[in-house]
């Protein structure tokens, strides 16, 4: 299975503005790109905090969209919200989660945040590519792309402008 981390960040590396959750800081061009990019994936994975912040948006897209899988320490807390095959909750570790998805026939996975989930998948060696929109804003603080330290050198695949000011960078994670 191919796993692609898709995120937007400030020029100084934050995926949230200060303590504000979500990506309200991103440009309209990034929002359009993000929606179009997700159409190429059959599953999207994110953590519980990302789900709680974007719950209304995520649920409005169900069913009929790719599987949305929420990683949480307490999946039973969300049992009433689960929709098998559309919106599922799990406490599985990344390797077990990826193996289970592959066994179910999923081939392209979008890793959608947040920073803790990003770190877990990088630490497990499961991320194949990073698609990163860099917005021309500086925050000086917020949530970083990764929750923990990492030491990885990525290979640039593509760089393109999104609109007048944002930059989309695509990287491959060497094995």
pTM of the model: 0.95
Question: Would residue 171 count as lying in a domain?
Answer: no
Question: Would residue 10 count as lying in a domain?
Answer: yes
Question: Would residue 112 count as lying in a domain?
Answer: no
Q: Give the percent of the chain with pLDDT over 90.
A: 88
Question: Would residue 11 count as lying in a domain?
Answer: yes
Q: 110 pairs with which residues across the strands?
A: 4, 44
Arithmetic mean of pLDDT, 148-173: 97
Same-domain pairing of 98 and 51 = yes
**How many structural domains is the chain composed of?**
2
Quickly state the pLDDT bin for 26 (edges 50, 70, 90).
very high
Same-domain pairing of 46 and 102 = yes
Which pLDDT value is given to residue 171?
98
Show the domain range for 12. 1-39+125-156
Question: Would residue 175 count as lying in a domain?
Answer: no
Question: Would residue 101 count as lying in a domain?
Answer: yes
Q: What confidence tens digit (pLDDT) does each residue in 102-153 have? A: 999 999 999 999 999 999 999 999 999 999 999 999 999 999 999 999 999 9
How far is residue 33's CA from residue 28's CA, in Å, rounded to a whole number? Answer: 9
Question: Would residue 144 count as lying in a domain?
Answer: yes
How far is residue 127's CA from residue 174's CA, in Å, rounded to a whole number? Answer: 9
């Amino acid at each position: 299975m191919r796993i692609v981390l898709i995120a937007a960040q400030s020029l100084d590396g934050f995926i949230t503005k200060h303590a504000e959750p979500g990506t309200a800081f991103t440009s309209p061009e990034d929002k359009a790109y993000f929606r179009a990019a997700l159409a190429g994936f059959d599953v999207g994975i994110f953590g519980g905090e990302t789900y709680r912040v974007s719950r209304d948006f995520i649920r409005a897209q169900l069913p009929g969209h790719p599987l949305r899988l929420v990683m949480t320490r307490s999946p039973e807390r969300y049992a009433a919200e689960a929709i098998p095959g559309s919106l599922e909750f799990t406490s599985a570790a990344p390797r077990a989660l990826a193996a289970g998805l592959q066994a179910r026939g999923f081939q392209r996975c979008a890793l959608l945040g947040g920073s803790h989930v990003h770190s877990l998948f990088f630490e497990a060696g499961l991320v194949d590519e990073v698609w990163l929109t860099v917005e021309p804003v500086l925050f000086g603080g917020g949530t970083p792309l990764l929750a923990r330290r990492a030491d990885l050198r990525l290979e640039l695949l593509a760089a393109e402008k999104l609109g007048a000011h944002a930059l989309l960078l695509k990287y491959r994670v060497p094995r």
